[in-house]
Amino acid sequence: MERVKEIERSIIKKYRKSIWNPFCGALNEYQLIKPGDKIAVCISGGKDSMILAKCMQELHRHSNIPFEAVYICMDPGYRQDNRNLLMENIKTLDIPVEIFQSDIFEIVDGAGGSPCYLCARMRRGALYSKAQSLGCNKIALGHHFDDVIETVLMSMMYSSEIKTMLPKLKSSNFENMELIRPLYKVKEKDIISWAKHNELRFLQCACRFTEDSDIFEGLSKRKEIKKLIADIKKTNPVADDNIFRSLHNVNLSQIVGYREADKGELHSFLEKYD
C-alpha cells in the first residue's frame, strides 16, 4: 500500500504541472464530467489508460462534483504473458477493475482487411456495451494530447480532410452514451516520464498482429506522423502546441470549403464571396 501511495503522490506532486493540472484543465474546459455521471474508465493495460485510471481515482476522492466511476478492462484474447503483466499492474496500482472476455482478436484474425481498424471499432463497441450494462452513461478513454495532434496530420495527409479527436462525443450506436477523453491536454512524454519515475512497465499494443510480425512497424501511419512532428520540433519546439491551439482557433473566413457533419453537404467560400 505504501508503494501505491507513492505512485499516487507522484501524480499530484512531482507531476502536478505536467499531468494533474492538464487533466483537471480538460475536465473543466470541455465540461467532461457532470453531477450524477456514472463513468466507465476503460483500461487496456497500456500506460495511457493506467494513468487515466489513477487520475480518475484521485479525482473521485477530492472532486466537489458527485459522480461514480467504475473501472473495466476487456481481454480481447491477450497472450498469457500479457495477461499476467496486466494483472500485476492492476494489483500494483490498486485499481478495482472488472475484467471481461471477448474473442475480438480471433474474429479480426480471420476477417481480412485492415486488422487495426476493425479491432478498434469492435473494441469500442464492446466497451460501450459493457458500460451500458453497468448503468454508465459515459466511457472514459486514454487518448492524450499527442493522439489529438497526430490525428490532425493523419487526416490531412491520408484522408484529405481536416479533423481531429474531439474531447467528448455522443455515441451514434448506443443511446444516451457519451465518450470522454480526460487526458486531452496531457502530453505522452509526461506519461512516459511518470511510468519510468515509478518503475512501472505496461503493455504496449499487446496485439498478436503487431507483436508476432514486424510488418506493421513499417506500415504504421501514426508512427510516421509521430516522427514527422518530432523532426519539426527540432527547429520549432512549440510546433505541437501550435497545432493543438490551432484546433481551437479556426479562421472560417480563410477556409476554402467545409462540411458541418461527417457526410454533410460540402460548402464553399464562394457561397458568401459576393
**At 65, phi and psi to the nearest 5?**
-85, 120
- Cα–Cα distance, 124 to 74 (Å, whole number): 10
Question: Residue 77 corresponds to which cell in the numbers above?
Answer: 484474447
* pLDDT single digits (tens) 214-260: 445 444 788 899 999 999 999 999 999 999 999 999 998 899 999 88
- The model's confidence at residue 210, banded by pLDDT at 50, 70 and 90, is low
- The model's confidence at residue 112, banded by pLDDT at 50, 70 and 90, is low
**What's the burial of 193, exposed, middle or buried (CB within 10 Å: 0-12/13-18/19+)?**
middle
What is the SS3 assignment for 139?
strand
Question: Residue 209 corresponds to which cell in the numbers above?
Answer: 498482429
Rounded to an integer, the average pLDDT of 150-163 is: 93
Q: Cβ of 158: how many Cβ atoms within 10 Å?
A: 11
Question: Residue 268 corresponds to which cell in the numbers above?
Answer: 464553399
- Cα–Cα distance, 163 to 104 (Å, whole number): 28
Domains in the chain, start-ordered, CATH in brackets? 2-205 (3.40.50.620)
Q: Is the pLDDT of residue 103 over 80?
A: no
DSSP string, 166-197: -SEEE-SSSTT-EEE-TTTT--HHHHHHHHHH
Q: Cβ of 119: how many Cβ atoms within 10 Å?
A: 20
Location of C-alpha cell 491477450:
78
Residue 126: which of 75, 69, 65 has the closest Cα? 75
Per-residue burial over 58-81, b = 16 or more CB atoms within 10 Å of its CB, e = otherwise: bbbeeeeeebebbbbbbbbbbeee
CA atoms within a 13 Å half-sphere pointing along the CA-CB vector of 246: 13
8 Å CB contact between 178 and 137? yes
8 Å CB contact between 30 and 167? yes
Location of C-alpha cell 487520475:
55
User: How confident is the model at residue 169, as a pLDDT?
Assistant: 95
Query: Which residues make Cβ contacts (< 8 Å) with residue 60, sequence separation at least 6?
Result: 67, 69
- Cα–Cα distance, 65 to 61 (Å, whole number): 10
* pLDDT single digits (tens) 20-65: 999 999 999 999 999 999 999 999 999 999 999 999 999 999 999 9
Mean pLDDT of the chain: 90
CA atoms within a 13 Å half-sphere pointing along the CA-CB vector of 43: 28
* pLDDT single digits (tens) 158-193: 999 999 999 999 999 999 999 999 999 999 999 999
Location of C-alpha cell 451500458:
132
8 Å CB contact between 106 and 119? no
CA angle (40 as vertex; 200, 181 as ends), nearest 5: 70
